[in-house]
Amino acid sequence: MTLLDVSGLSVRAADGRPLVADLSFSVAGGERLGVIGESGSGKSLTTLAVLGLLPAGMTVTGSVVLAGTEIVGAPEKRLTAVRGRDAAVVFQEPLTALDPLMRVGRQIAGPLARRTGWKGSRLRRATFDALAQVRLPEPERIASAFPHEISGGQRQRVALAAALACEPALLIADEPTTALDVSVQAEMLDLIDTLVREREMAVLFVSHDLAVVAKVTDRVLVMKDGRAVEEGGVQDIVGAPREQYTRDLVASARTLESALDLRSTQ
């Protein structure tokens, strides 16, 4: 069944400049779609449009139906009901998602309590469990820390735990590993991969890096200048890209991979 149906989505800047143009794609329940494209191709604006989070002043036309709710033009109250429950997002920089003045535990407990109605020791236990599930060591210590007191990799795990605490049908991950150290990136990817598979969650995974997207998704949408250039199974796109732009993305991902392989054998 279709969980997310984006149809003829266009986004314009306040000055009328087209930023996303006539974009259509869909994601079925449990499906994992990657969105790739170079910087400025409109990937982030597309994910923001799905959650009704586009900056004020931009004009949106077309349709975004998420779990049966039309997002384009929806009043804030309807959007609040959808966010978290139907789709939750992990951004590139976890500090933008976490409240710097609130202890980590409360930031997980809040969405958990809203979904389950739990309180007291039951809620506390569930909060520690949520932190343990994203493989954070010493969940009780992490829960009592403020975001600046833990590492960047740990913060991104906390942001993931907060998103998963709502058990959304769709997890949106916008460059979730780009800001992390290379050594931490692979662990984070593996974690996202494992957790969404276990929960049979759908994923919209945005990255400029085809190699990263290929690890986590089944299907890929390639974007350039706000438009869809091509779409297909990961194997097909990597093995037989049709468009020159995609061929270039595949070639640069290959060059990078082989450079990394060379380094690891030295």
Ligand X SMILES: Nc1ncnc2c1ncn2[C@@H]1O[C@H](COP(=O)(O)OP(=O)(O)OP(=O)(O)O)[C@@H](O)[C@H]1O
Q: Which residues contribute to the site for ligand X (CB under 6 A)?
A: 13, 19, 37, 39-45, 55, 208
Of the pair 43, 155, the CB lying nearest ligand X is at 43
**What is the smallest separation between the CB atom of 195 and ligand X, expressed in angstroms?**
24
45 or 220, CB closer to ligand X? 45
Toward ligand X, which CB reaches closer, 37 or 139?
37
Query: Measured between alpha carbons, how far is 93 from 176 in angstroms, rounded to an integer?
Result: 7
Name the minimum Å distance from CB 153 to ligand X: 20
Q: What six digits make up the tokens of 148?
A: 């600046």
What's the min distance (Å) between Cβ of 160 and ligand X? 19
E strands within the chain?
Answer: 2-12, 18-28, 32-36, 59-66, 69-70, 87-90, 170-174, 202-207, 219-224, 227-233
Q: How far is CA 45 from the centre of its chain?
A: 12
Tokens of 34: 């990657």
Q: DSSP 3-state assignment of 172?
A: strand
Tokens read off for 9? 């989505």
CB of 43 to ligand X, least distance (A): 4
Q: Which is nearer to ligand X, 23 or 142 (CB)?
A: 23
